Amino acid sequence: MDDLRQHLQVAGDEEVKISARNCQVFYGDTHAIKDVDVDILDKTVTAFIGPSGCGKSTFLRCLNRMNDTIDVARVEGEILMDGENIYDKKVDPVQLRAKVGMVFQKPNPFPKSIYDNVSYGPKIHGLARNKAELDEIVERSLRRAALWDEVKDRLQTPGTGLSGGQQQRLCIARAVATEPEVLLMDEPASALDPIATAQIEELIDELKQNYSVVIVTHSMQQAARVSQKTAFFHLGNLVEYDDTGTIFTNPQDPRTESYITGRIG
Amino acid sequence: MTLAPFVILLLAAAVGYAINIQAARAIRSNGVRLHSLEGFHGLFSLLLVIVPVLTLVLLWLALEGGVINRLLMASLPDGVLDGLDSGAVQLIGAEIRSIAGGRIFGTPEDWKLEAADRLIAYRQTSAWLLVIVVVLVSAALVFFARGKVAAEFRARQGVERITLGLMVFCAVVAIFTTIGIVAALTFETIKFFQLVPVTEFLFGTNWEPQIPIREDQIAAEGAFGAVPVFLGTIVIATVALVVAVPVGLLSAIYLNEFAPHAFRKVVKPILEVLAGVPTVVYGFFAILVVAPAIRQFGQSIGLDVASNTALAAGGVMGIMLIPFISSFADDALSAVPQSLRDGALALGATRGEMMMNVVFPAAIPGIVGGVLLAVSRAIGETMIVVMAAGLIARMTINPLDSVTAVTVQIVTLLIGDTAFDNPKTLAAFALGMMLFLATLVINVFALRIVRKYREIYD
């Protein structure tokens, strides 16, 4: 606990975007997430690492209430975003998800044109008043996702026709098009080749200027490369949460050390 | 007696199986490595006996009757068949057969009684011959199979070849049956078009398939314009689809995405039960409940409604098609990957928006395929329209009027005493051919669409 308190002081200098308190998740009878307390900072990349089945993706899906779509999932405790509990009855999960974008492990572009993929979010949330504004949002989002130059001449071709890396960047463009404040990424590069992975990582680094980015990853190298903060999950517990440098060079918990040196996984 | 060859055959197969397994085991217990396991040696003998002998027995039983009949006719005293046409000769054969079966009417001539005795003798000889042949061939095959057992004999490959042959045969049976049906239909259709011009059938707007039964009967020369008949089918099928497509699709969407798990678990099986209701029961429902209700309602608001309306037949047919379309659409919606749903929800789409904008468009090819298959079922459906639609072909698209359907006309044309050499009867085949072609085109089209869409997500 000492190191957590120490970290909270550091966090005090920067703005806390999301803070979870006593967060529990149950899948039916399985207790998937146990007592997780964490503060996620604004304009920072936070990485969740840990062995398979440790609950890092489950916790990520709590942050935009995607667990609501699973019938047997139940979330307890508090998750505050800008001081407001997102599990409060008066919060509409649909509006929350517009503020908290998400990118999935496998690229999942809709079977529509590139343009329609990106403009879908703005359309359903009424972010553009006319076609010109919509065009502008699409261009800005594709530029942010570093995809504009590759697709600007074929916006009307199907998004599913792009390469895997391009599809994933299209999904990132689609997520940033709704002007979210937080971007959740669930192993965004695990289905991609090394070159596409490098492009995505570079992109994540740029995205942190505007958003709070939370990334789940299996690759410790990736976590070390892109994140400033790292949280290590094990068997549903948040074992350790600190600056990425500290976690990888001077972990406090023996479990963290075992994991990053490859003894458990 | 007919059972005996089959029993012998099964016994021989079992014996061959046991002998070969024993022989293979003996080789193995001597420490020699077998190429194939003992079971394959046994199966090899089993299949080697069953397949050829069963074919032989079935062929024998199929051809026996014809051969015996020919022998019998040849053995009749000279002169009794002179001057008789083929129909009368067949009658005499039938009479002899019923005498042999113990059904004697009146006092038949002596030569018929003698012939009946000969027939019984022929039959017994044939039965004994069959038993002897089966015993000999089975024994020969069992010995042959036993002789094959050796360490290096590839029994597994042998079994696989025979099984493969059986599978090919079964696959080919279905294809050849279809070809046979199409050929029969084609020949009769050609005969019909020799009597009635193709253009009259395809473009004529008058359907009165009456012909004089006797030479001197005063009857209209029949008219064979199929347009009003097909129009009737189209009207009924359209009504059916107007009912079935929206209801089926909306129920599929609800069950697939919105229904609570418990509700879905109850309703889906019920919908499938609905799909299993015999169409004749739907026919009752149409004629006893729906048609009178429509007529009464129409009359109460001052409309002239026929008693057997296209609306009643089509509406009930639509109810029949609801589970069909619904289950097809449900499959298509379920095939849309969860990742697309998650993607839409994570963008802040409501479930409704997700369904409308992402899942449903992605499922459209599959749904269209299902609807097209429903169309071909609607135009081929017979029992409901026979019971609930009219018989008179009218050139109308008014669903409150009585119309007839292609299948109804085929049924009525073929009912009763009809000779197969006049246009009235042959017209049924021409209609059937047209119906076959229409459903064939629709099915091919539908299956192509369904296949194309499967490639996208697999």
Q: What superfamily in CATH does domain B223-457 come from?
A: MetI-like (1.10.3720.10)
Q: Decide if B316 contacts B384 (C-beta within 8 A).
A: yes
Q: What distance in Å separates residue A234's CA from the closest CA in chain B?
A: 26
Specify the amino acid at residue B239: V
pLDDT recorded at residue A201:
92
What are B363's two structure tokens? 């499922």
Query: What counts of helices (H) and strands (E) characterise chain B?
Result: 17, 2
d(C-alpha B427, C-alpha B406), whole Å: 11
**Three-state DSSP class for residue A94:** helix
Q: Which of A70, A94, A113 to mutate to test the interface with B (most CBs of B within 10 A)?
A: A94
Q: How far is CA A236 from CA A51, A255, B414, in A?
A: 10, 13, 74
Q: Which residues of A touch B (CB under 8 A)?
A: 64, 66, 69, 71, 94-99, 101-102, 104, 106, 108-112, 120-121, 124-125, 160, 171, 174-175, 178
pLDDT recorded at residue B208:
84
Q: Which residues of chain A have pLDDT under 50?
A: 1-12
> CB within 8 A of B168, min separation 6: which ones?
none
pLDDT recorded at residue B220:
58
A108 and B357 within 8 Å at the Cβ level: the answer is: no
B347 closest CB neighbour out of A69, A112, A120: A120
B261 closest CB neighbour out of A71, A97, A111: A71
Query: What counts of helices (H) and strands (E) characterise chain A?
Result: 11, 10
d(C-alpha A158, C-alpha B80), whole Å: 84
For chain A, strand residue ranges (E) read 16-27, 30-41, 45-49, 73-81, 84-85, 100-103, 182-186, 212-216, 229-234, 237-243
pLDDT tens string, chain B, 458 residues long: the values are 678 889 999 999 999 999 999 999 999 888 888 888 889 999 999 999 999 999 999 999 999 988 998 888 888 887 777 777 777 888 888 888 888 888 887 788 888 888 888 889 999 999 999 999 999 999 999 999 999 888 888 989 999 999 999 999 999 999 999 999 999 999 999 999 988 888 888 898 888 887 766 666 665 567 888 899 999 999 999 999 999 999 999 999 999 989 988 998 998 888 888 888 999 999 999 999 999 999 999 889 988 888 888 999 999 999 999 999 999 899 889 988 999 999 999 999 999 999 999 999 888 888 988 898 899 999 998 899 989 888 888 888 888 888 899 999 999 888 876 677 778 888 899 999 999 999 999 989 888 887 776 655 54
A125 closest CB neighbour out of B261, B341, B348: B348
The answer to whether B29 faces chain A, any CB pair under 8 Å, is no
d(C-alpha A39, C-alpha A4), whole Å: 10
Enter the DSSP assignment of A82.
Answer: T
What are A140's two structure tokens? 């800005």
pLDDT recorded at residue B214:
63
Strand partners, A242: A230
B347 and A97 within 8 Å at the Cβ level: the answer is: yes
pLDDT recorded at residue B3:
86
Write the burial class of residue B216 (CB in 10 Å: 0-12 exposed, 13-18 middle, 19+ buried): exposed
Q: Which has the closest alpha carbon to B237: B109, B35, B378, B53?
A: B378
What are A189's two structure tokens? 């590069």
Domain(s) labelled CATH 1.10.3720.10 in chain B stretch across 223-457
Which chain A residues contact residue B341 at CB under 8 A? 69
d(C-alpha B367, C-alpha B404), whole Å: 29
Which chain A residues contact residue B337 at CB under 8 A? 108
pLDDT recorded at residue B217:
65
Q: Decide if A43 contacts A226 (C-beta within 8 A).
A: no
Model confidence pLDDT, tens digit, residues A78-135: 999 998 999 998 999 998 999 999 999 999 999 899 999 999 999 999 998 999 999 9
Which chain B residues contact residue A110 at CB under 8 A? 340, 343-344, 358, 362
Query: Which residue in the block uniquely carries the two structure tokens 């069992």?
Result: B142
pLDDT recorded at residue B48:
92
Q: What distance in Å separates residue B13's CA from the closest CA in chain A?
A: 56
Query: Which structural domains are found in chain A, ordered by start?
Result: 2-110+180-260 (3.40.50.300)
Q: What are phi and psi of B131, to 5 degrees?
A: -60, -45
A-B Cβ pairs (cutoff 8 Å, strict): 66
